[in-house]
């Protein structure tokens, strides 16, 4: 374990929290608290066209209702563009970023982006991070030993001038001192690219842990895009107990009648990583 554990939960304000979001938030919170660490909340509001008006405030209200409070003031990515540009400048100076004007249709027809066939800078262009072919081997807290090969150079800044998730998430984790990233298993495939970025920016790669996903009847993960039902903040205690059950724990009868703070105290005292049920599955299974 690192000397001082710092974890985080970083939702995007594209809609309210749903049950799958709660599982991720709760797992990351409990892992931090159980290891004597800090738990931070960061709002990943980088993509205005995709954001839902009022969603960020509703997310924070839901977290508060469930007793999940950031140990430091909430960080908003839309206020940190200067940090992302500084990182891009460093990567460019190191020869690791290059312009790309390839269209989605060109990339699709080519079967993926290849730098050798990239059209380069032609008017509006994105900036890509040169790391294709890099291999990362790491131990995930719940998914075990992983080996990933980066398939193509990821975009760090889009043609429309917006900074990409891959860049911002790493820059912010570095700036906030995050050294244990607990998140959903849908982001497992991002780990190799992000590990490459951590190293390119002169930082240590954090420990990663990818929690199981709550699936819907159609075999998709619960998500805002798939119209997952918003959390009912009036049932916070019941929601927490249900999320603990999904994660593999066995809350005693009647725990849902306690306050969220008491439920979290019960759970953090009993949190053990090896007890987490690692299967992606329907809520009822």
**Residues taking part in catalysis:** 224
* Contacts (Cβ under 8 Å, ≥6 apart) of 265: none
CB 31 within 8 A of CB 254: no
Of 69, 285, 86, whose CA–CA distance to 172 is shortest?
Answer: 86
Beta strands in the chain (DSSP E): 6-9, 38-43, 75-76, 97-100, 126-129, 135-140, 144-149, 155-157, 180-184, 207-211, 214-215, 281-282
Q: Is residue 233 within a helix (H) or strand (E), and if so which, with residue range? A: none
Q: Taking CA 181 as the corner, what is the angle to CA 175 and CA 182, rounded to the nearest 5 degrees?
A: 145
CB 9 within 8 A of CB 28: yes
> How far apart (Å, rounded) are the C-alpha atoms in residues 46 and 85?
13
Radius of gyration, alpha carbons of the chain: 20
């Amino acid at each position: 374990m690192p000397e001082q554990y710092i974890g985080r939960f970083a939702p995007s304000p594209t809609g309210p929290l749903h049950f799958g979001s709660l599982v991720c938030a709760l797992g990351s919170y409990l892992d931090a608290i159980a290891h004597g660490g800090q738990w931070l909340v960061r709002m990943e509001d980088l993509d205005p066209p995709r954001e839902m008006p009022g969603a960020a405030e509703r997310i924070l209200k839901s977290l508060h209702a469930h007793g999940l409070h950031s140990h430091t003031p909430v960080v908003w990515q839309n206020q940190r563009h200067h940090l992302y540009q500084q990182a891009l400048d460093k990567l460019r100076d190191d020869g690791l970023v290059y312009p790309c004007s390839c269209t989605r249709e060109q990339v699709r027809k080519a079967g993926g982006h290849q730098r050798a066939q990239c059209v380069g800078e032609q008017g509006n262009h994105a900036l890509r991070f040169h790391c294709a072919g890099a291999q990362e081997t790491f131990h995930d807290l719940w998914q075990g030993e992983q080996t990933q090969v980066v398939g193509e150079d990821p975009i760090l800044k889009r043609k429309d001038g917006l900074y990409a998730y891959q860049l911002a998430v790493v820059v912010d984790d570095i700036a906030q001192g995050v050294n244990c990233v607990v998140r959903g298993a849908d982001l497992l495939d991002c780990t190799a690219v992000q590990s490459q970025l951590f190293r390119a920016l002169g930082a240590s790669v954090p420990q990663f842990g990818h929690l199981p996903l709550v699936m819907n009847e159609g075999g998709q993960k619960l998500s805002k895009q798939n119209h997952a039902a918003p959390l009912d903040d009036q049932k916070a205690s019941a929601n927490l107990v249900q999320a603990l059950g999904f994660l593999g724990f066995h809350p005693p009868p009647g725990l849902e009648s306690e306050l969220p703070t008491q439920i979290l105290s019960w759970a953090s005292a009993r949190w053990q990583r090896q007890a987490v049920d690692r299967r992606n599955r329907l809520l009822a299974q």
